Amino acid sequence: MTREKTTSSDHIADDKLQRYFDGDLTEGEARVVARDIERSEMEQARLSQLDRLSALMADRTENLEFDADALFSRIKTAVAADTSPRLRVVGGDLKKRRVWTSVAVGLAMAAAVALAFYYAPADAPVAIHPMDEPREALATNDPEVEIHPPAGSEVEEIDFGTNTGTVFEVEGAEGQPLAVVWIAEDTF
């Protein structure tokens, strides 16, 4: 928010100066601003800059073809030529234009892709991987069958009779489970 300065020794706010130039100030405000401009070369330079910009805009609007890039280039040149420290070229417009252009292009591409999938003809050819085709494969019918049994040993059934005992496993050299039956000598 631009703070408007009320003293003549301070710079005139940009907004106020613009409104003065446009004639949007009240009579009293205009008198104060005019006095400040008269007393300050810098304010006079700022006002003349506004005048030049306005002239450029007025000149271009008379032409049927509006070249925005050329206009902005001229404004940049004019601002760069001005020595007022309050005026500087801000390149945000170009960046914004590039960003919005990129966004628009991306959205257009995404929309095109979506439409392509949605409206794809039913009989559109589907990419076929060479390995998708059914083929006959010849395999050798080797009659020799090697069967590798599960390693280790396990208890299927046990009757301790009148003794007590336990069944557990210990690990063999290859990690296979080996069954162990441990029987207590006590008879009940």
Partner 1 sequence: MTHISITRRPLLLLLAGALSATCFVALPAAAQTVNAEVLVILAKEEAGTIDASLESMTALRRAPFNAFRTMDIVSRSSERLRPNQHQDVTLPNGRVLRIELQRVMPDGRYRVRVSINRPDAEGTAYLPLLQVVASPGDPFFVAGQSHDGGTLVIGITLQ
Residues that bind partner 1 (CB under 8 A): 141, 143-145, 147-163, 165, 170-173, 176, 178-185, 187
Measured distance CA(163)–CA(183) in Å, rounded: 7
Half-sphere exposure of 11 (CA within 13 A, CB side): 13
**Considering beta carbons, is residue 77 or 176 the nearer one to partner 1?**
176
Which C-beta is closer to partner 1: that of 88 or that of 148? 148
61, with CB counted inside 10 A (0-12, 13-18, 19+), is exposed
Smallest gap from Cβ 167 to partner 1, in A, equals: 9
CB-side exposure of 72: number of CA atoms within 13 Å? Answer: 10
| Whether the Cβ atoms of residue 33 and residue 20 lie closer than 8 Å to each other | yes
CB of 136 to partner 1, least distance (A): 21
State which residue, 69 or 174, has the beta carbon closest to partner 1: 174
Residue 175: CA atoms inside 13 Å, Cβ hemisphere, count? Answer: 0
CB of 148 to partner 1, least distance (A): 8
Question: What is the rounded CA–CA span in Å between residue 12 and residue 42?
Answer: 10
Q: Which is nearer to partner 1, 133 or 157 (CB)?
A: 157
Shortest spacing between CB 146 and partner 1, in angstroms:
10
**SS3 at position 117:** helix
Two structure tokens written together for 86: 């309050």
Comparison of 27 and 159: residue with beta carbon closer to partner 1: 159
